[in-house]
A = this chain, B = another copy of it.
Amino acid sequence: MKILIIGAAGMIGAKLAQSFAADPEPGLTEVTLVDVVEPKAPEGAVKMRTGTLDITDAAAVQAALAAKPEVIYHLSAIVSGEAEMDFDKGYAVNFRGMLNILEAIRAQKDYHPKLIFASSIAVYGAPFPDTIPDDFFLTPLTSYGTQKAMGELLLADYSRKGIVDGIGIRLPTICIRPGLPNKAASGFFSNILREPLVGKEAILPVSEDVRHWHASPRSAIGFFRHALRLDTAKVGPRRSLAMPGLSATVGEQIEALRRAAGDEAVALIRKVPDPMIQGIVAGWATRFDPSRALDLGFTADASFDDIIAAHVADELGGRIGPRA
């Protein structure tokens, strides 16, 4: 089995490649990693190739699929803020990129790979019920969410036609996102844990009663690995699934930080209310009932203690506290 990861230079793509390197799927012979910038190949027991691919270039996408990988992960996207500011680029990458992949598959004879598509809870738009059921409608309030929802519709139609065997993974907000603090409106959910865990200050722009829907990077990789093994006959024609996650308030996040790293870590969180971010966050989903995904065997983090412990193990070499 050959796997192609499109978007392998991103955080999830890189971790997914590492996961296959460390723990290869049975029968896996080769993993190809592509992105707009050439991804790094992790060390491991599996043969890894790397290359560049601009998914807005239909001919390049066709060439990238000429080797007929049995499994394709499509993780490439322009993020929400950029898609909102650059309308053309957002549609080019997030929508036509998906269409180029589907059409490149359709253009080949006897080729019906599994296509695992990273979607997002941005396909939903407020107002919401307290808990969003699996049959709740998709009314995105961003161009990014619109493009992901259109990609989901294509994925279902091309799957129904037997062109691909598709599955869409609606990711919760990833927390704790490794790396540096960024200016994404959702960044603070990660910042207020990641930074104090290494003795640094973090800004909290919203109140502690704000509730949101989270999954750790480790859970996200678990979703994508499980999707590969999943018998999609059990999924039926509704190919995209809201993933399980953890619904928690900011206050609950902070109490988990206190249990892991003590009062001195919590004291590093500075409350600087930001009405703009408060307004954006007020439009986000807070809780799902992901019954379908749970029934299909997808699993997520049980608590923010687990999420913090996974971050400390995976990103901090097991050690909390300031770096030298």
Copies in the complex: 2
Q: Answer yes or no: A295 CB below 8 A from chain B CBs.
A: no
Most buried by B among A137, A140, A141: A137
Q: Which among A49-57, A59-67, A152-160 touches the partner chain?
A: A152-160
Whether A137 and B140, one on each chain, are in contact in the complex, defined by CB atoms closer than 8 angstroms, is no
> Cα distance A137–B156 when bound, in Å?
14
Chain B residues near A141 (CB, 8 Å)?
160, 237
Within 8 A of B (CB), among A113-157: 125, 134-141, 143, 146, 149-150, 153-154, 156-157
Asked if A87 meets B143 with Cβ closer than 8 Å, knowing A135-B137, A150-B153, A153-B150, the reply is no
Whether A149 and B153, one on each chain, are in contact in the complex, defined by CB atoms closer than 8 angstroms, is yes
How many A residues have CB within 8 A of the partner chain? 22
> Cα distance A134–B135 when bound, in Å?
11
Q: Answer yes or no: A238 CB below 8 A from chain B CBs.
A: yes
Asked if A161 meets B237 with Cβ closer than 8 Å, knowing A140-B153, A146-B156, the reply is no
* Min distance, Cβ A77 to any Cβ of chain B, angstroms: 16
> Cα distance A153–B154 when bound, in Å?
12
Partner of A146, one of B87, B135, B138, B153: B153
